[in-house]
Structure 1
């Protein structure tokens, strides 16, 4: 068996280490969104497959016999396509999808379905921290009259696409104390976040709670109707049983 691990999350890193430790043949695949990704410990390919035909061709050429999808919860198009193609070709597929964040006491969340909806809730004059990544930042173009700060992992190759915004380079993880200090220094009034879930990046939500900041929480897109697990342990159990 050769497993294809669709990676890009902290859970994928954990799975990769366990696959190596157990000596299981596997190949990791990264979309290439980050210029210097952390080493996976597995043979790793970077970049797209070249559409559906390219993906199917790769499965055959690389001798892939199962696919574990540990991509980002918002990489829904990749997950939907992969689940569908694997089902068509009878290739075992499983999605590792960590649980969503849920609001708790002291949280001031507004749930929105898409980036464009943030402008409905965030008043003009606000300083807004976009913890949503570089891709899709133009979807906040209707937030004119607000100051936008978007945190990115890699130094940007082009200036911010809107005159009222700027990029802030920083590589996670960040502690709650670091996020509190950053939001205070920048004078943040609103936080915009995708509901990615996971403990590794939850510190920004804890900081918003501590500072009593409102949060525009972008809801997850629909996920494929396919086998799914929520933890690394369950994902490894699936791998062992295929």
Structure 2
């Protein structure tokens, strides 16, 4: 079958690799924001589609038979567009969403809805490890009464103000690595999106051990879709014909 995967995550690569190994014609679409991404097996498409009409047009022109949304839980508009495109074209959509983190006993989170709310929740003189990526970064950089340590995979295309420091690194991160980072910068607050998964979860245990306050930005709501949380469940939900 011809399958389009909206990708950019390790989970998307796993699904693509399994489907290609099964003999399906798979194309993975990447937003193109990350330099030198780890690429999946199969075909590749880079860049935006042009909203819902563009995605629908692509699905029809490429004769796509199944659509998999395996983007990041905070990918935003593309996940909303995938629901609308599936409804418009009648193409089966499966959303692969990694399970969210939940506080374990001993962890205390402040949960907010937006980056702006997270920035407003920071007290004066806080030493902040910011792990939310580029989206909403400006809200935190406005907090000149705090020290902001911005950890990203790709640096932003502008210089940070004097009260902010850039940490460019790529996950996965281990517990000892995260503990060392919190100690080195005397971090008092960790701001995170609830991305789920294991590659960056160690920061939450490190924060608990160090008494660092976690401010968690809740996941957005993307609308109804058949949602799964594992590769095997994604393959089953696609209802692929027997080989």
- Normalising by the smaller structure, the TM-score range is over 0.9
TM-score by length of 1: 0.94
How many angstroms does 1:16 deviate by? 1.6
Aligned-residue offset at 1:240: 4.2
Deviations 1:184-215 (A, max 9, x none): 11221100000111122211111111212110
Task: Give the TM-score, by structure 2 length.
Answer: 0.93
Structure 2 CA distance, aligned partners of 1:146 and 1:139? 12
Residue number in structure 2 paired with 1:154: 154
Contact 2:129–2:187 at 8 Å: present in 1 too? yes
**2:204 is matched with which residue?**
205
Question: What are the superposed Cα offsets for residues 161-197 of structure 1, whole Å, 9 maximum, x if unpaired?
Answer: x442222100111111111111111221100000111
Which residue number corresponds to residue 191 of structure 1?
A: 190
- Confirm or deny: 8 A CA contact 2:97 2:228 kept in the other structure: yes
Moved over 4 A (4+): none
| Aligned-residue CA RMSD (Å) | 1.6
For 1:125, the equivalent position in structure 2 comes to 125
How do 1:77-88 and structure 2 match up within 5 A?
A: 77-88=77-88
Contact kept? 2:132, 2:191, Cα under 8 Å? yes
- More displaced stretch, 105-114 vs 140-149: 140-149
CA displacement at 1:68 relative to structure 2? 0.5
**2:238 aligned counterpart, secondary structure:** helix
Q: Conserved in 1, the CA contact under 8 Å of 2:8 and 2:31?
A: yes
Residue 100 of structure 1 contacts residue 195 of structure 1 at CA under 8 Å; is this kept in 2? Answer: yes
1:142 deviates by 4.3
Segments of 5+ residues of structure 1 without an aligned counterpart are none
Name 2:26's counterpart in structure 1.
26
Is this contact kept in 2: 1:116–1:142, CA < 8 A? no
State the 1:236 CA deviation. 1.2
| Cα shift at 1:65 | 1.3
2:141 and 2:191 map into 1 onto residues whose CA distance is: 14
Following the alignment from structure 1 to structure 2, what is the Cα–Cα distance between the partners of residues 120 and 47?
A: 33
Q: What is the number of equivalent residue pairs in this alignment?
A: 241
* 1:1-242 superposed matches below 5 A: 1-160=1-160, 162-241=161-240
Residue range with higher mean Cα deviation, 103-112 or 150-159: 150-159
Higher mean C-alpha deviation, range 135-144 or range 176-185: 135-144
The answer to whether the 8 Å contact 1:106/1:212 transfers is: no
CA-to-partner distance for each residue in 1:56-80, whole Å, 9 max, x for gaps? 2211222211100001111232111
Report if the CA contact (8 A) 2:51-2:81 is conserved.
Answer: no
Whole-angstrom CA distance in 2 between matches of 1:203 and 1:231: 21
**Which stretch has the larger CA shift, 113-122 or 185-194?**
113-122
* Distance (Å, rounded) in 2 between the aligned partners of 1:72 and 1:7: 8
For residues 82-129 of structure 1, the C-alpha deviation after alignment (integer angstroms, 9 at most, x for no partner) is 111211111111111111111011212111111111244321111101
After superposition, the Cα gap between the structure-2 partners of 1:53 and 1:121, relative to the gap in structure 1 and judged at 3 Å, is closer
CA distance in 2, matches of 1:225, 1:140: 32
